[in-house]
Structure 1
Amino acid sequence: MKKIIVIFSIALFFNSCVGTDKFVLRTSLGKVNKVMVVTKASDWTGDLGTAIRNSFGELVVGLPQPEPMLSVSQIGPNAFGGMMNISRNILIIGEGEKEDFYIKKNVYAQPQTVIYVYGTDDASIIKVFNEYKKEIISAYISSDILMTQNIFKAKQLELSQFKTLQEIGVSFTIPKEYKTVDDTGEFLWLRQHLKSGIAKTGSNNILVYAIPLEEELEVSENIIAVRNRIGKKHIPGSDPETMYMITEEAYTPHTSETFLDGKKAFETRGKWEVKNDFMAGPFINYSVVDKARNRIVVFEGFTYAPSVNKRAFIFELEAIAKSMKIQ
């Protein structure tokens, strides 16, 4: 515990020097949705480690392969230094005189989220972690969303070229790798060809459109019917008469209420497939209630990436969706 306190004290001193000519925080390292846990090996192999792995290991809804919300690795307090403390997402576990929980940004590097969980013994630490686990997971995911959006800002598309976005009056931070498939003024379809690994034959796709708001209480109930109608009209297979995108019938999508651009919205995660064909994959759909213009603005992202994990692809689409601004 003393070693953790020393490390934290050094970090505070180092962080206090940011903005001067003497010290500049290093750039953090690490993949999105990855957390490094700083705790003793005996704790990691015991009940505490099990609690962390079970919570972070909850599966992402709607993916064909089982993938956890957050991947985790463990390092002992003695090894937490040098290049190890510039990981982007860090969870520091320790024993103290009282139970405590707090979040700090950019302690050793930037961007960085460091979360501290303390208890008086193992049972106390587990209690504190379980009490705040939803907030902990949300903090790491939100941080990675923002980091991803900032990366996209540095190479974003010029949105004035898209008729549909101009007509609907909506904007997103979309990286320039996306190319136009269809842009009617009422419906936009963008596609990014994936270039790495087996997924180089696949793609990430973005759909944007708006529909009239008829009954707000029925918005969530109608999401699947709407996306099936749009799929039949705009997303054809190799034979447009008999093949088109639908929601996979064998998997029930999950819809939850959220907010985008300060407006009530519904997030739906599920699986798509092409009717009468073998193409399929995950999708994420945001239906935003825009009362001011009596409409629903829809962003949907879907991935086609055979034989590879898809969490990272869907996460990028989520980051783009959450950059939405409605005029």
Structure 2
Amino acid sequence: MKNLLLLLSIVLLFTSCESKKGQKRIFLDSNGRMNHLLIVMDNSRWSGEVGAKLKEIIMTPVLGMPQQENQFGVSQIPEISFGKMFKASRNILIVSLDSVNNFQSKKNIYAKPQQIIKITGTSEEKLVEMLELYQEQMIRSFKEFDIQNIQKSHIKNSYFETSFKTLNNLGLEMVIPKFFKKVDDTGEFLWLRQRLSGGIAKGDGTSNILVYSVPIPKSKKNLVKIISNMRDTIGKKYIPGSQENMYMVTEKLYTPRVFRTKMDEKPCYVTYGKWDLLNDFMAGPFLNYVIEDVKNNRWIVVEGFVYAPSVEKRDYMFELEAVLKTIHLK
């Protein structure tokens, strides 16, 4: 009898183990806003040289904003406080001393979706070196992770591929969430708008998407001027103000910043700048992507711009970036 009970116990133990192995792991839902980091780091280190270097990296101002806004919001806790509640955070950066100098990037450890980066150094001097060495990779990892999560959330409630004449005529696909509504869709020019509300002094603000194409210019010697003039021409033709001779232009007092990059595996210029309404007081930031479609001798232009006076605009612009980056040339 004892042997039988022992045998049954062993069978139950192995059955239980196999059942647990076969179970799909259940994750907590992560929490936290886009562009926000939970930094796990001892208080003394946060207020010292290592913390100063980290703040310099993560609090770099976002390009093109009317007022300074840092690229990340930050919460900091010491390692001893890193318990269950904080482990459910979406974006976590751990900086600590260890026996090795190391950079690790992992996803979905304590919750989902979650991005965790851990940077260790054998001394505070080495930690500063590691932060400098991996700063671009660190920022890119958190930004791309947030972009991907925004894009995934948009797929569930987006327009059909054939919803807009301009995209069809230009041979384009985009994942556009349905909270953007059509303002204009001529077949050559598309303008979509999302109404923003809450905390905006002069009525509701707006978040906007533009799509169009122009011929590739013969010369690209002064890209800032070429892209600014292109935007001004489109603004005059399609984006009027409330009265005659009012239309959107590139603000002349702020020189736009142009960088070469890639979009949809094609050469692209990305421009960060400010727009304003000629002969009026409306203004805000814009983000413009010019994709080179050499085969068809054209630039495909996708742009996002925001009007949201008296409130921070970083996250609105970041959400626009996530939408714009879904562009695909068929």
TM over 0.5: yes
Q: Provide the aligned C-alpha RMSD in A.
A: 1.7
Q: What is the CA distance between 1:102 and its match in structure 2?
A: 1.6
Change (3 A) 1:22 1:145: closer
Counterpart code for 2:241? G
Cross-structure match for 1:273: 276
Cross-structure match for 2:115: 113
Larger-Rg structure: 2
Cα distance per residue 1:246-296 (max 9 Å; x no partner):
001111111111111000101101110010001111100000001122211
In 2, distance between residues paired with 1:99 and 1:196?
Answer: 46
In 2, distance between residues paired with 1:272 and 1:70?
Answer: 23
Contact 1:18 1:25 (8 Å CA) reproduced: no
Q: What is the CA distance between 1:215 and its match in structure 2?
A: 3.0
For normalisation by structure 2, the TM-score amounts to 0.90
Contact 1:268 1:285 (8 Å CA) reproduced: yes
Change (3 A) 1:249 1:22: closer
Cross-structure match for 1:57: 59
Cα distance per residue 1:146-178 (max 9 Å; x no partner):
011111111112231210000001111111011
In 2, distance between residues paired with 1:145 and 1:41?
Answer: 30
In 2, distance between residues paired with 1:19 and 1:309?
Answer: 47
Q: What is the CA distance between 1:77 and its match in structure 2?
A: 1.1
Is residue 2:207 matched to residue 1:211? Answer: no
In 2, distance between residues paired with 1:219 and 1:156?
Answer: 37
SS at match of 1:84: helix
Counterpart code for 1:225? N
**Which structure 1 segments of 5+ residues have no match?**
1-16
Identity percentage over the alignment?
42
Cross-structure match for 2:12: none
Counterpart code for 1:150? K
Is residue 2:180 matched to residue 1:168? Answer: no
Counterpart code for 2:278? K
Q: What is the CA distance between 1:83 and its match in structure 2?
A: 1.6
In 1, distance between residues paired with 2:66 and 2:21?
Answer: 46
Change (3 A) 1:167 1:216: farther
Q: What is the CA distance between 1:226 and its match in structure 2?
A: 0.4
Task: Please list every run of at least 4 consecutive aligned residues from structure 1 whose deviation after the TM superposition is greater than 4 angstroms.
Answer: 17-20
In 2, distance between residues paired with 1:296 and 1:219?
Answer: 16
Cα distance per residue 1:165-208 (max 9 Å; x no partner):
00001111111011111100000001110133327611001100
Change (3 A) 1:119 1:18: farther
SS at match of 1:83: helix
Is residue 2:188 matched to residue 1:186? Answer: yes
SS at match of 2:32: coil
Is residue 2:231 matched to residue 1:227? Answer: yes
In 1, distance between residues paired with 2:40 and 2:219?
Answer: 46
Give the counterpart of 2:305 among 296, 302, 306.
Answer: 302
Cross-structure match for 1:315: 318
Give the counterpart of 2:242 among 238, 241, 251.
Answer: 238
Cross-structure match for 2:72: 70
Q: What is the CA distance between 1:19 and its match in structure 2?
A: 9.0
